[in-house]
Structure 1
């Protein structure tokens, strides 16, 4: 019987790797505690160590700035879509009213 593949959030992975880096428990103990293979935890640790300099990288600030700008633009576009939807609905309503007036005038 095969096991379902478990998806770990980045927060969970970080917590497990930090626990390993504290060296309060062995890799085997941590793997057993979280029911994760030792190889997978070792891979997470290697990935963490290779990417930890990114925390202090100024490029991350640029990424966050771009994300904020993207969110602002998204909010603006959602607002604009709402306005245009109201305009279209109003025009459809007026079109129906005008066509009814023309029918009565005949």
Structure 2
């Protein structure tokens, strides 16, 4: 049976290598020797970092869904406050 011995790299390590690649101060073969990772993987991590860097500073798509959730929670708070006020008034009338 085949032995699947793929290396697993931490997110920190991937980010470090990808940032080095983005700096373009070293060639891919130099980075491969320095970090012991294939040029293909370095290119892939660099591409992923470039595509997803916006998430570091907040994604605009998530802000819209976050705002909807906040609005729903405010609406629910308002409903609960009305129910509480009604219960308090009813409790006072009953003694």
TM normalised by structure 1 equals: 0.49
Q: TM-score, normalised by structure 2?
A: 0.54
Which ranges of 4 or more aligned residues in structure 1 deviate by more than 3 Å? none
Counterparts in 2 of 1:12-51, with a 5 A limit? Answer: 12-51=13-52
Distance 1:3 1:32 in 2: 23
Q: Which structure 1 segments of 5+ residues have no match? A: 63-106
Deviations 1:70-89 (A, max 9, x none): xxxxxxxxxxxxxxxxxxxx
- Map Cα deviations across residues 6-57 of structure 1 (whole Å, 9 max, x no partner): 1100000000011111222111100121111111111111111110011111
Q: Distance in 2 between matches of 1:33 and 1:26?
A: 11
Distance (Å, rounded) in 2 between the aligned partners of 1:42 and 1:3:
23
* Unmatched segments (≥5 aa) in structure 2: 67-95
How many residues are treated as equivalent by the alignment?
60
Deviation at 1:4, TM superposition (A): 3.2
The alignment's C-alpha RMSD in Å is 2.2
